[in-house]
Chain A
């Protein structure tokens, strides 16, 4: 049994009292719901019907819930045993939309399954790949996962969806008050009140959004129009397509997802162990297997690709509740809610300032966790410089993507995200230094 880390209220093996358990799980549910707008956006992109959209949403929720439970289990070869929930993966959105444009939902499903199978392969070789990922490189991975959430978080926080949208001072104020409430609860509350950081912040945010009229327009009509219970439509269940030319992009996205999950699982290990110094690679392998299983299941069912949630992992650290029982309850509830179109619709209609505040809170925590991991290793000036170069490369892809627009097609997948390029640069430069050290008889 893992001893409980000092900063935790409920550790991995603890079983919180029922009331606390339900409220903590509810907050995880809210975080898992933060990307549920993506299936709806995808269906809008491809001009799908409302029924198809509801079906994709429900099946994504079922797959994500199942993945959350599997991840918390410690089955032979599958499951890290940590509270590391799954959600609808934002990094898969563009690839999914592209596949759905080209071949509809059957092609999206086929490519999602292919990405899942590739992650199985990646997980299988992770032990051999371990020397590529020293602690400092993992810190960069965690940091860049946080950086990857910045654009969507900033967009929601400022309530700016498209360039040229007017800035609403009121909406920004609601977002700021919401995030400050979360920070205040997290900083100044003693012990268990920290568990409800997100809930208290969101209640404040929802109340302000309601008072000032910032709830999503037509929320009541949209909620009223759908039933309380409904099985997802499975009219495309037996229809699968695959395209070889899309495979490279999906492999890259799959590697990004796996690296993100790698970072999330390292963070889980760190939160649950005060003395953490190096990665338990066997645990990461089982975690990646669970992630791959969840991704493949989502494709098989007909949902959008799922991924482990950095926001939930960061929140579990910030709140001090990492009990795996929370994963069982939140995952089970997410699956059940997938069968209730009414409740899943409510979850997708989170007001922009509230969602932005939530993302800002967890992203800030996640980025600093990455920095903390990096600082655990004693780094010489050469390695510090390598990390700096990796972060620079990653940030440049996010800040000025257009400079990479005309790179040769065979190398383009490398620049698919800041996470990919930063990881590749960090890995290559660290291996180069390792080789140099070895040649000079150093470490």
Chain B
């Protein structure tokens, strides 16, 4: 029996080594054809992932995915999910990332990094700039949509620095199996500014100004605890001639002419922005600027919207650094 097997293997080996004219194996042709089909036949992305795919950066997408999955787990398992959330090194608690859960009254019911906060009502707590962060987190849970979600920005200690660091937290409303409404969230320290989040926040500032007016709203935009101040984004308002009406650099002395502002390579982004806003209600432009401590200039984005406030046309905008891909030299 063994001999027979050995002989057949040997025969196959000899046959395989025999020189013969080359023909493309059919399997390769089939595989090549399948390759194109495979890409087209990608399974549809689950609807829950829509919220993830609107973000550009992988760390933001990961954070949003974790919070959305945590919300789904809570809706299914109730408070039992908290046991899984507490496991260090798990998907729910890794490095600086942890989950927290609040009731709509502001009572902490779960905290991944500081369990001592559980059971305490933190609704009135503020960060160093006076941001009522828990109140803003809870406000998301009070929205009418069953799966309301949103971002809250505040300064918080991250365990590796003495001073507080900007934290961008994604929060999601959860309806528990017993009908109680909670808010689950998690955050990133010094996160990259997502274009979609910046645009939403600046659009929000524009709507706020339309309602409140320039006089009252302008000052509120620049307050350190304003919801329109968030990591590395500052909101400004310009008139049609490119002069500042709300100026984050000179809050007490607006009227600076920004029209001829020129960047590191001679680009005049405000002129470009004005040109775009003649035909569009909102627009983005880029320019080069140095980050603190950096030797080379990096890309900065201005997103702006034209609105009418107090009977005059103005431009509400904000600027933020856009990260450079790791492979690209600035």
Give chain A's interface residues, CB within 8 Å of chain B. 17, 19-20, 23, 26, 45-47, 93-94, 98, 101-102, 151-152, 154-156, 159-166, 191-192, 196, 199-200, 202-203, 206-207, 210, 215, 217-221, 223, 245, 343, 346, 349, 398, 401-403, 405-406, 417
B49, CB-defined interface residue at 8 Å: yes
- Which residues of the other chain, B, contact A94 by a CB distance below 8 angstroms? 328-329
- Which residues of the other chain, B, contact A17 by a CB distance below 8 angstroms? 22-24
- Which residues of the other chain, A, contact B179 by a CB distance below 8 angstroms? none
- Which residues of the other chain, A, contact B62 by a CB distance below 8 angstroms? 166
- Which residues of the other chain, B, contact A220 by a CB distance below 8 angstroms? 40-45
Closest 5 CB pairs of A and B: A19-B24, A405-B295, A151-B327, A165-B58, A402-B295
Determine which of A163, A203, A210, A221 lies in contact with B31 in the assembled complex, contact meaning CB atoms within 8 Å: A203
CB atoms of B42 and A202 under 8 A apart? no
B233, CB-defined interface residue at 8 Å: no
* Complex: chain A residue closest to B34, CB-CB: A203
Residue-wise interface mask of B (30-57) relative to A, using a CB-CB cutoff of 8 A (1 in contact, 0 not): 0110111011111111000100110001
CB atoms of B59 and A166 under 8 A apart? yes
Most chain A Cβ neighbours within 10 Å, of B23, B39, B44: B39
CB atoms of B267 and A101 under 8 A apart? yes
* Complex: chain B residue closest to A160, CB-CB: B326
Residue-wise interface mask of B (269-303) relative to A, using a CB-CB cutoff of 8 A (1 in contact, 0 not): 00000001000000111110000001110000000
Could you tell me the distance in whole angstroms from the C-beta of B166 to the nearest C-beta in chain A?
14
Determine which of A218, A346, A406 lies in contact with B36 in the assembled complex, contact meaning CB atoms within 8 Å: A346
Q: How far is the CA of A162 from the CA of B286 in the complex (A)?
A: 18
CB atoms of A401 and B38 under 8 A apart? no
CB atoms of B296 and A162 under 8 A apart? no
Q: How far is the CA of A217 from the CA of B285 in the complex (A)?
A: 26
B89, CB-defined interface residue at 8 Å: no
Q: How far is the CA of A343 from the CA of B35 in the complex (A)?
A: 12
Extra contacts besides A162-B325, A164-B57, A166-B58 (4): CB < 8 Å: A19-B29, A47-B285, A152-B327, A159-B58
A-B contact pairs, 6 of them (CB 8 A): A151-B327, A155-B327, A161-B57, A165-B57, A165-B59, A417-B329
Chain A contact residues: helix, strand, loop or mixed: helix
- Which residues of the other chain, A, contact B57 by a CB distance below 8 angstroms? 161-162, 164-165
CB atoms of B38 and A210 under 8 A apart? yes
Given A47-B284, A162-B57, A346-B36 in contact, is the A199-B326 Cβ separation under 8 Å?
Answer: no
B130, CB-defined interface residue at 8 Å: no
Given A94-B328, A245-B266 in contact, is the A162-B40 Cβ separation under 8 Å?
Answer: no
Give chain B's interface residues, CB within 8 Å of chain A. 22-24, 28-29, 31-32, 34-36, 38-45, 49, 52-53, 57-59, 62, 192, 265-267, 276, 283-287, 294-296, 323-330
Given A164-B192, A402-B296 in contact, is the A215-B39 Cβ separation under 8 Å?
Answer: yes
- Which residues of the other chain, A, contact B329 by a CB distance below 8 angstroms? 94, 151, 398, 401, 417
Could you count the A-B residue pairs with CB atoms below 8 Å apart for me: how many are there?
Answer: 121
CB atoms of A199 and B22 under 8 A apart? no
- Which residues of the other chain, B, contact A398 by a CB distance below 8 angstroms? 329
Given A155-B326, A155-B327, A217-B49 in contact, is the A45-B286 Cβ separation under 8 Å?
Answer: yes
- Which residues of the other chain, A, contact B295 by a CB distance below 8 angstroms? 402-403, 405-406
* Complex: chain A residue closest to B323, CB-CB: A162
Could you tell me the distance in whole angstroms from the C-beta of A239 to the nearest C-beta in chain B?
15
- Which residues of the other chain, A, contact B36 by a CB distance below 8 angstroms? 343, 346
Q: How far is the CA of A215 from the CA of B43 in the complex (A)?
A: 10
- Which residues of the other chain, A, contact B325 by a CB distance below 8 angstroms? 155, 161-162
CB atoms of B42 and A164 under 8 A apart? no
Given A166-B59, A199-B28, A217-B45 in contact, is the A206-B40 Cβ separation under 8 Å?
Answer: no
Q: How far is the CA of A19 from the CA of B29 in the complex (A)?
A: 8
CB atoms of A161 and B22 under 8 A apart? no
CB atoms of A215 and B23 under 8 A apart? no
- Which residues of the other chain, A, contact B23 by a CB distance below 8 angstroms? 17, 19
* Complex: chain B residue closest to A46, CB-CB: B286
- Which residues of the other chain, A, contact B31 by a CB distance below 8 angstroms? 199-200, 203
CB atoms of B40 and A223 under 8 A apart? yes
- Which residues of the other chain, B, contact A343 by a CB distance below 8 angstroms? 36
- Which residues of the other chain, B, contact A217 by a CB distance below 8 angstroms? 45, 49, 52-53
Determine which of A23, A98, A191 lies in contact with B28 in the assembled complex, contact meaning CB atoms within 8 Å: A23
CB atoms of B266 and A206 under 8 A apart? no
- Which residues of the other chain, A, contact B43 by a CB distance below 8 angstroms? 220
* Complex: chain B residue closest to A154, CB-CB: B327
- Which residues of the other chain, B, contact A93 by a CB distance below 8 angstroms? 328
- Which residues of the other chain, A, contact B44 by a CB distance below 8 angstroms? 220-221
Q: How far is the CA of A244 from the CA of B43 in the complex (A)?
A: 50
* Complex: chain B residue closest to A151, CB-CB: B327
Determine which of A20, A23, A102, A346 lies in contact with B40 in the assembled complex, contact meaning CB atoms within 8 Å: A346
CB atoms of A23 and B39 under 8 A apart? no
Given A166-B62, A218-B45 in contact, is the A161-B53 Cβ separation under 8 Å?
Answer: no
- Which residues of the other chain, A, contact B38 by a CB distance below 8 angstroms? 206-207, 210
Q: How far is the CA of A166 from the CA of B52 in the complex (A)?
A: 15
* Complex: chain A residue closest to B284, CB-CB: A47
CB atoms of A151 and B326 under 8 A apart? yes
CB atoms of B326 and A161 under 8 A apart? yes
Could you tell me the distance in whole angstroms from the C-beta of B285 to the nearest C-beta in chain A?
7
- Which residues of the other chain, A, contact B45 by a CB distance below 8 angstroms? 217-218, 220-221
- Which residues of the other chain, A, contact B41 by a CB distance below 8 angstroms? 220
Given A161-B325, A162-B326 in contact, is the A223-B39 Cβ separation under 8 Å?
Answer: yes
CB atoms of A23 and B29 under 8 A apart? yes
CB atoms of B35 and A162 under 8 A apart? no
Determine which of A152, A349, A406 lies in contact with B39 in the assembled complex, contact meaning CB atoms within 8 Å: A349
- Which residues of the other chain, B, contact A23 by a CB distance below 8 angstroms? 24, 28-29, 32
